[in-house]
């Protein structure tokens, strides 16, 4: 019995170990970064980015083990007023996908 408990103690930490995620700060992709800056320039957003009025971070997780990151002012703290809008849009898209958007009354 004591051998079983000892084995269980040796094995149990691996059962509860959290997965190791890639460090996004070290996942900057030069091509994605260059294209992000070009897009901001094309959209007329270079000045707000330069003045730290705009922060943007893109994360491509197509390959979960090797994410690609591009960021402009990625470490600047900013008020994220648009985050609630993303959740509302997600809910709307899910309702549309499930064809429940027009089925409800009210």
- Tens of pLDDT, residues 10-54: 554 555 556 678 888 889 999 999 999 999 999 999 999 999 999
**Structure tokens given for 81:** 């007023």
In a domain, 1, yes or no: no
Domain count, the chain: 1
- Cα 64 to Cα 4: distance, rounded to the nearest angstrom: 37
Give the pLDDT band (50/70/90) at residue 104.
low
Which pLDDT score is estimated for 32?
96
Residue 4 has pLDDT above 50, yes or no: no
In a domain, 83, yes or no: yes
In a domain, 105, yes or no: no
Over residues 59-80, the mean pLDDT reads 89
In a domain, 46, yes or no: yes
In a domain, 13, yes or no: no
In a domain, 82, yes or no: yes
Which pLDDT score is estimated for 99?
76
pTM as predicted? 0.58
Range of the domain at 27: 22-97
Which pLDDT score is estimated for 59?
92
Residue 70: exposure state from Cβ atoms within 10 A (0-12, 13-18, ≥19): buried
In this structure, what are the phi and psi dihedrals at residue 63, rounded to the nearest 5 degrees? -110, 100
Residue 49: exposure state from Cβ atoms within 10 A (0-12, 13-18, ≥19): middle
Work out the widest C-alpha separation in the chain, in whole angstroms. 71
In a domain, 102, yes or no: no
């Amino acid at each position: 019995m004591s051998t079983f408990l000892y084995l269980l103690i040796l094995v149990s930490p691996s059962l509860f170990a959290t997965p190791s995620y890639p460090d996004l700060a070290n996942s900057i992709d030069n091509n994605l970064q260059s294209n992000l800056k070009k897009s901001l320039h094309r959209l007329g957003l270079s000045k707000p980015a330069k003045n730290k009025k705009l922060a943007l971070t893109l994360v491509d997780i197509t390959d979960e083990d090797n994410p690609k990151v591009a960021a402009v002012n990625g470490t600047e703290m900013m008020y994220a007023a648009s985050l609630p809008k993303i959740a509302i849009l997600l809910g709307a898209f899910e309702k549309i996908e499930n064809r429940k958007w027009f089925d409800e009354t009210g």
